[in-house]
């Protein structure tokens, strides 16, 4: 039979089978050797740190400057116990010391408020982080050696003349320990009392009636006080069962702080500057992108909050906008008036006064005002049209050849008409046969010199029944004096439209007196009567 073979009895039931195993000699020797080694190994010893016990006192609220924290401990004689203290819930130690034989732990250096003590077991008489196992934690402790009075201002408060408020909180807080007695005083720049003291107090009964853990006191800054840094002194005192008599100043009042809160009293008004050169005298709130509103470019030497008011001639406020940021750093709000009332309607035509008032953090104010007019005019394209007689519009010397005639008035025509008769005297060359005149008219001044087109219509017709009668109508361009935009007018007695030109045909376009010059003439025996001209020009106007 092979090693480890199991011989089973055939006379027993499966549930009661017995097995017998043959173990080879070499295997048995190995098992005996292992057993001998195990027998020779020493018994494991317990960790001394695990044998440390700590009994904590029942009191958890006390004044560490008056009371020690007494514990009792047991530990192996070769172990050294240390204690550390830190804020409750924080594993970071703020201080450490050996546990004295008396078990009286001195926590006078521990922070105010919630504290926890931890016990450490060390193999040497020197405690180092990571070398000593932590063995016990105290319950959460509440330590108070003084009243804590804390200002709610994150930085120096800035106040002005008149009534102001100062907010602070205190600890320990009621109702567990009762309400403290509080006194306060505003001190001069040298931290002394004013000649007429500015001070007050709050009794525990007053605090209890308010039921507030955050306290606000009111004080009045005199009108004659100069700008400067002053100080608020707040003191609190309280008799308690657990901590004894406690006192405290605002913001600590210890070696780090002198127990005073800085208050900046500012009585100087802000310097308000407005560039009036950028403000139009009149606005046209017609949404045509021309002076639709008046922007007020304002700046100040300190950050301020502004209010814009617009009043009519009777003094009634038609528009008001507040909470405007005005400063000198380029981050202020855009201040403007669109010529509309507070309800959004366009203000009636008339004169108004814009008043901008700014106030700094201390309540000091500065004011600027200026009048402005509101008009109902708006930019629009319009067509100017005017009739003028041929004779009245003539300008310059006419060109009349020796064989031709310029009749004024035209033969059988009305007064002011002109007759152009070629070859009325003889038949000559082109120059001798030519009759031509120039005409002109002043045009209305366009807004920003914007003209769309101009056109001249000749009113007249052929002087005879000849099919060869014609007259040429054109414009004299201002740059070189050339004839442009010409058109040959033929048969028909009535209105003959010339070509339309853009603004290039207008003389002195950018002056206060722009005008147009046109010309007409004929030759080769043509005969034509001109009664008048109709001048039209489309231009942009504010009306």
Segment 269-284, tens digit of pLDDT: 999 999 999 999 999 9
**Residues 53-112: tens digit of each pLDDT:** 999 999 999 999 999 999 999 988 888 999 999 998 887 889 999 999 999 999 999 999
Q: Given pLDDT bands bounded at 50, 70 and 90, which one contains residue 372?
A: very high
The whole-number pLDDT of residue 448 equals 92
Residue 241: name the closest of 55, 67, 103 by CA. 67
Q: What are the Cα distances from residue 178, in Å, to 108, 114, 175, 324, 401? A: 24, 19, 5, 46, 123
Looking at 20-92, list the stretches that DSSP marks H as alpha helix, in order from N- to C-terminal side.
25-40
Residue 30 scores a pLDDT above 70: no
pLDDT score for 49: 60
Question: How far apart are the C-alpha atoms of 541 and 543, rounded to whole Å?
Answer: 6
CA distance 412 to 156: 99
With beta carbons less than 8 A apart as the criterion, state whether 460 and 529 touch: yes
Is it the case that residue 519 has pLDDT exceeding 80? yes
Both tokens assigned to 159: 């106040």
- Does residue 126 carry a pLDDT above 90? no
Instruction: Quote the DSSP letter at residue 52.
Output: -
Answer whether residue 16 shows pLDDT above 60: no
3-state secondary structure of 392: helix
Taken as a whole, the chain contains a residue count of: 543
Which residues have CB under 8 Å from 7's CB, separation 6+? 1, 19, 20
Give the span between the Cα atoms of 416 and 411, in whole angstroms. 11
Which pLDDT score is estimated for 225?
93
User: CA-CA distance, 206 to 181, in Å (whole number)?
Assistant: 9
Closest CA to 399 of 443, 360, 434: 434
What is the rounded CA–CA span in Å between residue 471 and residue 528?
Answer: 7
- Per-residue pLDDT at 262: 92
- CA–CA–CA angle 286, 287, 288 (5° rounding): 95
Q: Cα(364)–Cα(308) distance, rounded to whole angstroms?
A: 16
pLDDT above 70 covers what percent of the chain?
A: 89
The span from the CA of 172 to the CA of 42, in Å, is 58
The whole-number pLDDT of residue 376 equals 95
Which region among 38-42, 47-51, 186-190, 383-387 has the lowest average model confidence (pLDDT)? 38-42
Which of 509, 450, 432, 499 lies closest to 472 in space, CA to CA? Answer: 499
What's the pLDDT score for residue 37?
38
Predicted confidence at residue 373, as pLDDT, reads 98
Q: Is the pLDDT of residue 354 over 80?
A: yes
The pLDDT assigned to 210 comes to 79
Reported for 45-50, long-range contacts at CB under 8 A and 24+ positions apart, including other chains, are 47/133, 48/75, 48/76, 48/78, 48/79, 48/121, 49/79, 49/121, 49/133, 49/135, 50/135
């Amino acid at each position: 039979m092979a090693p480890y073979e199991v011989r089973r009895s055939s006379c027993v039931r499966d549930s009661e089978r017995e097995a017998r195993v043959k173990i080879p000699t070499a295997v048995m020797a190995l098992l005996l050797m292992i057993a001998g080694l195990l027998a020779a190994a020493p018994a494991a010893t317990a960790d001394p740190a695990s044998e440390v016990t700590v009994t904590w006192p029942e009191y958890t609220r006390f004044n560490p400057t008056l009371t020690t924290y007494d514990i009792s401990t047991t530990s192996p004689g070769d172990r050294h116990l240390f204690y550390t203290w830190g804020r409750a819930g924080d594993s970071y130690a703020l201080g450490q010391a050996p546990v004295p034989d008396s078990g009286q732990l001195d926590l006078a250096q521990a922070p105010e408020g919630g504290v926890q003590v931890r016990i450490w077991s060390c193999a040497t008489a020197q405690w180092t982080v990571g070398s000593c196992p932590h063995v016990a934690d105290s319950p959460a402790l509440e330590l108070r050696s003084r009243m804590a009075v804390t200002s709610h201002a994150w930085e120096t408060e800035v106040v002005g003349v008149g009534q102001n408020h100062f907010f602070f909180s205190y600890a320990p807080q009621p109702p567990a320990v009762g309400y403290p007695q509080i006194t306060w005083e505003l001190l001069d720049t040298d931290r002394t009392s004013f000649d007429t003291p500015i001070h007050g107090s709050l009794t525990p009964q007053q605090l209890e009636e308010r039921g507030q853990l955050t306290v606000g006191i009111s004080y009045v800054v005199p009108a004659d006080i100069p700008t400067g840094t002053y100080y608020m002194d707040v003191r609190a005192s309280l008799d308690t069962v657990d901590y004894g008599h406690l006192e405290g100043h605002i913001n600590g009042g210890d070696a780090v702080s002198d127990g005073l809160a800085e208050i900046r009293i500012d009585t100087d008004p802000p310097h308000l500057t407005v560039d009036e050169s950028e403000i139009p005298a009149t606005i046209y709130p017609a949404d045509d992108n021309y002076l639709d509103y008046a922007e007020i470019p304002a700046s100040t030497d300190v950050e301020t909050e502004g209010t814009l008011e617009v009043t009519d001639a009777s003094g009634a406020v038609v528009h008001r906008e507040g909470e405007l940021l005005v400063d000198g750093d380029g981050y202020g709000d855009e201040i403007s008036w669109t010529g509309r009332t507070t309800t959004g309607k366009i203000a009636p035509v008339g004169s108004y006064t814009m008043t901008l008032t700014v106030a700094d953090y201390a309540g000091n104010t500065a004011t600027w005002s200026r009048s402005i007019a509101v008009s109902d005019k708006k930019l629009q394209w319009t067509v100017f049209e005017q009739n003028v007689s041929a004779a009245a519009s003539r300008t310059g010397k006419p060109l009349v050849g020796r064989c031709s005639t310029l009749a004024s008035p035209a033969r059988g025509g009305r007064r002011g008409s002109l007759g152009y008769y070629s070859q009325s005297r003889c038949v000559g060359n082109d120059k001798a046969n030519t009759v031509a005149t120039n005409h002109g008219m002043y045009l209305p001044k366009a807004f920003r010199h914007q003209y769309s087109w101009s056109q001249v219509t000749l009113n007249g017709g052929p002087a005879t029944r000849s099919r060869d009668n014609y007259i040429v109508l054109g414009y004299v361009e201002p740059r070189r004096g050339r004839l442009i935009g010409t058109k040959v007018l033929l048969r028909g007695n009535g209105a003959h439209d010339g070509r339309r030109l853009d603004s290039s045909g207008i003389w002195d376009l950018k002056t206060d007196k722009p005008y147009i010059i046109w010309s007409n003439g004929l030759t080769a025996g043509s005969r034509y009567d001109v009664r008048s001209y109709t001048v039209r020009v489309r231009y942009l106007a504010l009306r």
